[in-house]
Chains A and B, each alone.
Chain A
Amino acid sequence: GAGVSQSPRYKVAKRGQDVALRCDPISGHVSLFWYQQALGQGPEFLTYFQNEAQLDKSGLPSDRFFAERPEGSVSTLKIQRTQQEDSAVYLCASSLDRGINSPLHFGNGTRLTVT
């Protein structure tokens, strides 16, 4: 596709359920990022992949959050035993290469609501 694609667009989960959020980056993009955006706030960094390697996961808020990118393209962000504070928009972004000047292209996000 032309841009970063995320699915589902909306997800409602009951507290305690596990969820999986998918990101399809732009074809050929080496770097992939996950961000969490709470209502009325700017996005906050969660984790970063270069190809299949997870190089930085310092932003993951707890061990309930897990991300993978096994073949260096599609990525999944999994949240186990969801809590109400996990409610947010989860944004995925990709960039063409590993250079710091390579711009990030964001998807439209998955809005997660935990009830």
Chain B
Amino acid sequence: GQQLNQSPQSMFIQEGEDVSMNCTSSSIFNTWLWYKQDPGEGPVLLIALYKAGELTSNGRLTAQFGITRKDSFLNISASIPSDVGIYFCAGTISGSARQLTFGSGTQLTVLP
């Protein structure tokens, strides 16, 4: 199936630092989504992107839909302890509009 390459696999940062993570694919995606998953819970949608080149913010989070439609990044500014968790990118491809393909996740740890 389709694969999303998500990096980095894990990050350890100091509270207050900015964070950046990204996803790339060899296929063109029609939508890009970023989710956060806490232990024992389901993924929660953070940001959704629907157009190539789109840049969207949600509080301290900013994400962009790459112009080639094959990549996306998520930035978190001024990290706080509750940002700890696993962040997943996900997307849909043409012809499978209701089937999300997920990346393998970025484990974020925020040190006090």
Contact = CB atoms under 8 A, between A and B. Distances in A.
Contact of B30 (A33, A44, A55, A100): A100
Interface stretch (A12-20, A64-72, A105-113): A105-113
Interface of B: 4, 6, 30-31, 40-45, 48, 50, 88, 90, 92, 96-105
A75 to B, nearest CB: 15
Contact of B92 (A35, A43, A55, A100): A100
A108 B40 contact: yes
A3 B52 CA distance: 31
Interface string A34-67: 0100001111110010000001101100000000
Contacts, number: 59
Contacts of B6: 42
Interface of A: 4, 31, 33, 35, 40-45, 48, 55-56, 58-59, 91, 93, 98, 100-101, 103-109
Contacts of B48: 101, 103
